[in-house]
Structure 1
Amino acid sequence: MLALTSWLLIPALFGAGMILYGYWRGRDFRWILLPLLFLYLGAAWAHGDQKKWEKREKSIEALTETYVEARGTITSIEEEDGTFEILLKDNRVYPRSGKDRDKTDCFLIPGLMVTFKDFKKEEKNSSIVSLKGLGIGETVLIRGEGKAFSRARNPGEFDSWEFYKAMGLDLKIYGKELVVLDPGKDPLLEGIRQVKLWIIETFYRLTGEKDGGIFVAAVIGDKDGIPKEINDLYQKNGIAHLLAISGMHMSVIGLFFYRILRKMGLGYGRAGLAGSLLVILYGILTGNSPSVARAVIMMVITFLASYLGRTYDLLSSASLALILLSLKSPLLLMQGGVQLSFGAVFAIGGMMPAMAEWAGKEKPLVKAVSTAVAIQVVTLPVVLYHFYQLPLYGIFLNFLAIPIMDAVVYSGLAVIFLGSLCPFLGIGAAGIGHYILVFYEFACKNIAKLPYNNLTFGRPDTRRLAAYGFFLAALFFILKIAASFGKNKEEEEKSSPYICRVLLLFVLYGFSILFFRPSPVKGLEAMFLDVGQGDGILLRTGKSTILVDGGSTSKKSLGEYTLEPCLKNLGISAVDYAFISHGDLDHLSGVRFLLETSDDIRIKNIMLPCQGKGDEKIKELEELARKRGTKVIYLAGGDELTVEELKITCLYPGRSDIPETVNAQSEVLKMDYGSCHMLFTGDMGEKEETRLLERLGKKGLSEINVLKTAHHGSKYSSSEAFLEAVSPRWAVISYGENNTYGHPHKEVLERFKGLGVEVFKTAEEGAIRLWTDGMKIHFSSYVDADGFYGYN
């Protein structure tokens, strides 16, 4: 709720700006308060929606991790690699225990997602069918395990719960059984789905696997078939939006059909009605995402304006679309795709005219450049807030790519219609689109080679977003005032040539980028990431970044979905030092991903355990590091390193030690920042703890106030003697929920309790953040602190 109410500050600023602008233009004062009225009506609606979700969440809790039986109506069916995803509405869900259940214990769940693999028709029960025979509109009974959508537990992680909540989905079921109760299908919606499947098959058959996936995305919005390398290439160069269904598609399809009908003699009303029906059906065909719904609503308003003989206003139609979407679900407004879609429209309708008027809109290229710069400047905070990176040259690539994207859509439509008549004609129709796609790939690959192609700025904080909002408002008014002074011909002749003004627009774009340049970290921040069953600690001070371990055995794609997104979220493109305590996967799998696969994160120095030189996994890391140009250093007891004001000392093991196990190779690191002293122990065992105490003495570790608990809280570490010698004030245990090892063990927790140590657990609280200025230490947890809200 905190995040939702804080985002209301943004429409509040826009509302205040609209009031001032209306007053400045001398409009009727009765209209001046209208924006504020809608703002607070929206806030009330959002509050009411939040209360409804609080009730729904109680039902979700009761059904999570339970074998359930659900009855509902199919609204969507998607298949990928043999796995089906089915959405159900109007659901009655019963918790089951074996074959017995209380039939009165029924939950009314509006939205369900069911996933399971295909199964063949069973002879003994003719009502159980192959999933390929299902259709939209059928009423089915599903049995399976209920699961809540996963929450983000670290900065940068994708929050499935928030995303699907905005889409109106409450619960996910891993289906085991399916029974059709009513085989009646919705003739319209199921017919549209069959058309979609036919279109997909036609594209793949006539254009091949690679082009087919891109054509399908560009024409009907299904991105599942895009090759990963192409998707990543487009994403990193800032043209991935070209493959999303937008207003351009509605213009190509709706206006083209509308104009044909008008030339055939149909009146504005009938032609507009036919055009509206076409774009609505097309919107359903493409999945009717929020961005598609916006484009459909705006196109229908275009037809309505022609019928009524009124002037079409871009900002008014976009505002109506925004209101209608927010009535469906206020949470939709929090999605990055929705914000980018509307941000681009408001940039074209608001900021672009002001830029073009100032630069001289009648001059060549002024409108095109003004449009590109306006969209980039207005959507920049949205891009960084949700994606953390900025494709620096994306503005120039879009300048080239957007005008010819229409040809790709036309080419795709021609493949569908001509290919249905003659396959040879369909293949020929794909030619234009194919060569444009080849050009896109060529341009992206070459631009990607340029220096500073992708800038990692991280997620901007609330204060910087608010300041940027004031900057945009001031820029708009300055451009309007400056344009009004240039209307006099004599003054225009004395003014600088328009080409200088066009160049100044690009300078403005550069200034807006510098506005979000990451700031150095004040003090020391240590983030104990929730990596599941493993370890991963990220430390930042000033402009430096240190990573201590980064691996997991429970999260197979830790590097891709947790570690890399977290680093990008924090604005980190380079790790200065990465320490690997020992050669177990639960301490290095994510770091290996960064070295082997990640193009966006660079590790400058990797610090490996001196006693792990013969370990195969350590050797593999060393080889990967050398290939990436990373400096490899083997660390031993007694080695010291200073990073800005942070002192790092390796206490154990020494070069003469002979560890008996891989865990015994663990580096023990002491980190000192002012009065904050932390001890990182890897997976060291009780024997190693005893040896360390023998060398340092009990007083040698007495100043430690923060302990990263060894071996995820195993009872074979954190001995009573060791804990008494260290006597920490706080301890952090990193482990996976419901792990098979039983970590953390009861004995360890009792030892901590007996010593009065406050314990933080990643499996319960998500990532744990420590911040210190060298005098005071402050802890917060990602789950309890609303995602470290405003922490940057």
Structure 2
Amino acid sequence: MCLFSLSFLWGIILYLNPHYKQIIITVAVIFCLIFAIYKTATVIKSQRDKEEIEIKSHLFMRNIAILLIMIFLMISGFIRVCGVDRAFEVISEIDDMNNIIAIGKIESISRKNDKTLLILKDSCIKSQGKWKKVPKIQFSTKKKINPNYKNLIKIKGQAQMPQRASNPGNFDYYTYYKSKGIGLLLKGTILKEKKSENIEYFNGLDNLKYLFENSIEKNAFKSDIGILKSFILGDKSQLLEETKLLYKEGGIIHILCISGLHLSILGLFLYKNLRKAGAGFLLSGSIGGFVILSYVFMTGFTPSSLRAFIMFMLMLLANVSGLHYDMLSAIGFSMIIVLLINPFYVLNTGFVYSFVSVFGIAVFASKTNEKEGEKTNKKKIFGNIKNNLRKNFNFSLSMALFNMPLNAYYNYEINVTAFIINFFVIPFSSILLITAFFASLSGILKIHILTKSLFFTCHIILMFFEAICTIFNRLPFIKILTGKPELINIIIYYLILFLYRYACKSLKDKIFNKNKTLGNFLLPFGKDITDKFTGEIRNNKIKRLIISVAGIIILIFILKTKPCQGFEINVLDIGQGSCNVINDRGRAFVIDAGSSTFEKVGKNRVIPFLKYKGIKNIEYAFATHPDLDHINALEEFFLENIEVKKMVIPYNLRKSQAFKNLLNLAKKSKTKVIFMKRGDKLVKKDFTLTCLHPHKNFPEENENASSLVLELKVGKTKGLFTGDVEKEGEKSLIASNKLKKYDFLLIPHHGSKYTSSDEFLNKALPKISIISAGRGNMYGHPHKEVLDRLKKYNSKIFRTDRDGMISIMIENKKIKVKKYL
């Protein structure tokens, strides 16, 4: 079943990312399967024993059937996602987004601060006089409304499509909403609401959620409200950013999401206690299943909770019918069902983490725990505690090993102590969930003493979580920046894990008995392999520790992103601002970093990009002038503990008050500050940066005109970075006779008409012109006059407001420009 589900999943991936590497892998896997079948057929022909021929023939037919089903499911996955994606294409055809009329059924209701958010399914919009079916719509309004589930509503307002990430490493709202099946965001008013029948159940769940929210807000400790609402109800509106960051860095952010862990804890708690009370399999299972399904609907119907519900029901069905429950088959079956509901769940990080984690537990932890469970201990109490600790360790280690590539892929870094933190946190998560649930319930029933006692217990547990994360996060060398690994690296990583579990198990007689060196290498990955060794090796703790550390280092090395092999200039899209990152084989040189469009642009846009590229520190940071839309992200580098080795500012602006905050931050971080003037050079092995402007005595009154103008030379390729240099600065540049013909030019001041004069462009004659400006900015940048002048000089124009990040790659004396969007 796992092979079948992976085939269905791969069909979806091939549609979403039809990259040549994926196609090659697909063809290679099918070829290997065909080759295996061919070899089986060859073996059958060589057999003389009739009984042996029958066995081999049965195996041959079974393999053919499996191959055909896998190919069928892969094609089915491709067709399914293709059909769903057509509805999203309709939205891209809408011309006017300012006055949209739409209808749809209310699927979910949430209230955040003063807003009401509705998710509408079975949606249609009116476009060009016709009603067209579209994906789900997220409708928001500031008016106080009290709609009911399943009601059909007609709405009117201003709509927009979720924005795609315009830089690598940035949060992709388009993918996020698409993974939820949402294609349109609409703000406006409700024109009409038609009541639907048989909605009492869903309205009751909404009211129950509201009661739980009130109970938590009134009775829980103030510092715990956001965490408990997120932990129990999936509402992150009051979750503090500091808490979210602490849990993320500690590798326990998953407990703040409604996941299979929550449902498993709640469902098994109800089921086991009902069974102990004397209820039958059917009654216990029915009550447990109904409660879990209600909880799934109440908390937002996430893919991870849906997976847990399907697997829980399969387990109950197996118990009632007396059949064997196979966890791997249940995972495969639930994956197919979840992806049939919405194939774009494959883009949801919750879906990926949920299935990978439970798969890791099924493959590694569950089988190890089964063997340990068979062993008895004379001292039962001590034995149970020891076995529970071992099980918890196996669960934590399995989740950490399987989630490590995902952390590298989504977060671009790995916390090597995450499995230790989870070892302490996961057992208490069960206690926290049950305690918080009954604390909220007792608050609703107004049993004050019990409510206060239970919420106090929750507070103690959360303080313990915070202490554990804080202690381990402060340890040196626990965070390893990997960058975003390639898909092939992740596949190799998982292949090594499966090699341990299956290949080494089948070859134990050949490997472990004859080649102890290879056996020693595989020792840290599990106790069942360890048992194959001699007592001397098995009991040598120092050797086991050394081998364990070596194994982890090798796995991390596989995920580590290779530094940029050539020379690359990245002009980031950060709205109305400027940020240019020179990447010289993994060494970063930043020229300006700031924006007036986005808040915390360094934390949310520039730093994630650097992490994506695997860049840990910045060699040189150049601030061309002190406008905030050029330096506020540079200031954030210091606040976010990004190491900046050297800071460069214009010599004539060294006393500018606008630079005061940046220079103070640099001083506190012990960053060397360099004052640059015309003629100064930064010479490196592969490139040279020369300052063309301003000269030492240039008037400092006009800070834009005093912008650093830097000439980059890489071999015979030349480029010019101009900051916000204006008329006086351009005149000084022209008079200096320092300007040459350039392969690429960063247009001054975001394309303002007061820059890029004919005289300036006639000297520079750029083959490629790049403009950094924000979408729909209030200044109207880039101005038409500048665009017309650039066209007159036959310069090829690239714009961050349309093209996203623009990359210039220089290798083997060739220049290549690539748009991100």
Same fold (TM over 0.5): yes
Please give the secondary structure, in 1, of the residue aligned with 2:220.
Answer: helix
Offset at residue 715 of structure 1 (A): 2.0
Residue 683 of structure 2 aligns to which amino acid in structure 1? T
| Equivalence for 1:454 | 479
Please give the secondary structure, in 1, of the residue aligned with 2:181.
Answer: coil
Is 1:716 the counterpart of 2:748? The answer is: no
| Equivalence for 2:161 | 148
Please give the secondary structure, in 2, of the residue aligned with 1:70.
Answer: strand
Offset at residue 169 of structure 1 (A): 1.1
| Equivalence for 2:63 | 32
Offset at residue 313 of structure 1 (A): 1.2
Structural mapping, 1:428-439, within 5 Å: 428-439=453-464
- Deviating more after overlay: 221-230 vs 462-471: 462-471
Q: Which residue of 119, 128, 131 corresponds with 1:87?
A: 119
| Equivalence for 1:672 | 713
| Equivalence for 2:782 | 744
Residue 107 of structure 1 aligns to which amino acid in structure 2? K
| Equivalence for 2:400 | 376
Change (3 A) 1:293 1:2: closer
Map Cα deviations across residues 746-777 of structure 1 (whole Å, 9 max, x no partner): 23222222222211111111111111125111
Q: Which residue of 662, 667, 685 corresponds with 1:621?
A: 662
| Equivalence for 1:589 | 632
Change (3 A) 1:416 1:177: closer
Please say if residues 741 and 763 of structure 2, whose CA atoms lie closer than 8 Å, have aligned partners that are also in contact.
Answer: no
Residue 107 of structure 2 aligns to which amino acid in structure 1? T
| Equivalence for 1:781 | 819
Is 1:509 the counterpart of 2:533? The answer is: no
Write the distance in 1 (CA, Å) between the matches of 2:28 and 2:319: 33
Is 1:253 the counterpart of 2:266? The answer is: yes
Offset at residue 181 of structure 1 (A): 3.9
- Deviating more after overlay: 104-113 vs 569-578: 104-113
Q: Which residue of 608, 626, 632 corresponds with 2:673?
A: 632
- Deviating more after overlay: 673-682 vs 179-188: 179-188
Map Cα deviations across residues 518-547 of structure 1 (whole Å, 9 max, x no partner): 323222110111112211111111231011
Offset at residue 394 of structure 1 (A): 1.1
Structural mapping, 1:394-543, within 5 Å: 394-419=418-443, 420-481=445-506, 492-493=534-535, 495-497=537-539, 499=541, 501=544, 504-505=547-548, 507-543=550-586
Please say if residues 200 and 216 of structure 1, whose CA atoms lie closer than 8 Å, have aligned partners that are also in contact.
Answer: yes
Is 1:682 the counterpart of 2:714? The answer is: no
Please give the secondary structure, in 2, of the residue aligned with 1:532.
Answer: coil
Change (3 A) 1:519 1:742: same
- Deviating more after overlay: 53-62 vs 73-82: 53-62
Q: Which residue of 635, 640, 648 corresponds with 2:689?
A: 648
| Equivalence for 2:175 | 162
Residue 690 of structure 2 aligns to which amino acid in structure 1? T
Offset at residue 576 of structure 1 (A): 1.5
Residue 399 of structure 1 aligns to which amino acid in structure 2? F
Residue 730 of structure 1 aligns to which amino acid in structure 2? I
Query: Normalized against structure 2, the TM-score is what?
Result: 0.86
| Equivalence for 2:49 | none
Offset at residue 290 of structure 1 (A): 0.5
Residue 779 of structure 2 aligns to which amino acid in structure 1? Y
Write the distance in 1 (CA, Å) between the matches of 2:498 and 2:278: 46
| Equivalence for 1:69 | 101
Please give the secondary structure, in 2, of the residue aligned with 1:154.
Answer: coil
Please say if residues 87 and 133 of structure 2, whose CA atoms lie closer than 8 Å, have aligned partners that are also in contact.
Answer: no
Write the distance in 2 (CA, Å) between the matches of 1:260 and 1:467: 43
Q: Which residue of 305, 328, 347 corresponds with 1:292?
A: 305
Map Cα deviations across residues 713-768 of structure 1 (whole Å, 9 max, x no partner): 22221122221212222111111222232222223222222222211111111111
Change (3 A) 1:782 1:490: closer
Offset at residue 376 of structure 1 (A): 2.1
- Deviating more after overlay: 524-533 vs 353-362: 353-362
| Equivalence for 1:560 | 603
Residue 180 of structure 1 aligns to which amino acid in structure 2? E
Offset at residue 328 of structure 1 (A): 1.4
Please say if residues 135 and 183 of structure 2, whose CA atoms lie closer than 8 Å, have aligned partners that are also in contact.
Answer: yes
Q: Which residue of 410, 413, 416 corresponds with 1:389?
A: 413
Change (3 A) 1:14 1:75: farther
Please say if residues 152 and 195 of structure 2, whose CA atoms lie closer than 8 Å, have aligned partners that are also in contact.
Answer: yes
Write the distance in 1 (CA, Å) between the matches of 2:283 and 2:532: 50
Is 1:58 the counterpart of 2:82? The answer is: no
Offset at residue 661 of structure 1 (A): 1.6
Please give the secondary structure, in 2, of the residue aligned with 1:665.
Answer: coil
Please say if residues 11 and 39 of structure 1, whose CA atoms lie closer than 8 Å, have aligned partners that are also in contact.
Answer: no
| Equivalence for 2:134 | 109
Map Cα deviations across residues 433-480 of structure 1 (whole Å, 9 max, x no partner): 221211111121122211123222111123323433443343333442
Please say if residues 145 and 174 of structure 1, whose CA atoms lie closer than 8 Å, have aligned partners that are also in contact.
Answer: yes
Structural mapping, 1:570-581, within 5 Å: 570-581=613-624
| Equivalence for 2:649 | 608
Change (3 A) 1:418 1:773: same
Q: Which residue of 164, 172, 180 corresponds with 2:185?
A: 172
Write the distance in 1 (CA, Å) between the matches of 2:140 and 2:753: 39
Change (3 A) 1:532 1:519: same
Write the distance in 1 (CA, Å) between the matches of 2:393 and 2:276: 34
Write the distance in 1 (CA, Å) between the matches of 2:626 and 2:792: 33
Unmatched 5+ residue regions in structure 2?
1-13, 41-54, 376-385, 514-527
| Equivalence for 1:693 | 734
Please give the secondary structure, in 1, of the residue aligned with 2:682.
Answer: strand
Write the distance in 2 (CA, Å) between the matches of 1:685 and 1:262: 79
Write the distance in 2 (CA, Å) between the matches of 1:241 and 1:678: 46
Change (3 A) 1:40 1:725: farther
Residue 408 of structure 1 aligns to which amino acid in structure 2? L
The aligned length equals 759
Write the distance in 2 (CA, Å) between the matches of 1:337 and 1:9: 28
Q: Which residue of 232, 240, 243 corresponds with 1:227?
A: 240
Please say if residues 109 and 118 of structure 2, whose CA atoms lie closer than 8 Å, have aligned partners that are also in contact.
Answer: yes
| Equivalence for 1:99 | none
Write the distance in 2 (CA, Å) between the matches of 1:200 and 1:342: 29
Write the distance in 2 (CA, Å) between the matches of 1:726 and 1:691: 14
- Deviating more after overlay: 496-505 vs 532-541: 496-505
Write the distance in 2 (CA, Å) between the matches of 1:771 and 1:522: 10
Write the distance in 1 (CA, Å) between the matches of 2:399 and 2:33: 20
Change (3 A) 1:536 1:232: same
Write the distance in 1 (CA, Å) between the matches of 2:275 and 2:763: 88
Residue 298 of structure 2 aligns to which amino acid in structure 1? L
Write the distance in 2 (CA, Å) between the matches of 1:508 and 1:14: 27
Map Cα deviations across residues 20-71 of structure 1 (whole Å, 9 max, x no partner): 9999999944443526633552343334423542453233431653211222
Write the distance in 1 (CA, Å) between the matches of 2:603 and 2:154: 36
Offset at residue 691 of structure 1 (A): 1.3
| Equivalence for 2:381 | none
Query: Normalized against structure 1, the TM-score is what?
Result: 0.89
Structural mapping, 1:96-135, within 5 Å: 104-118=129-143, 130-131=144-145, 133-135=146-148
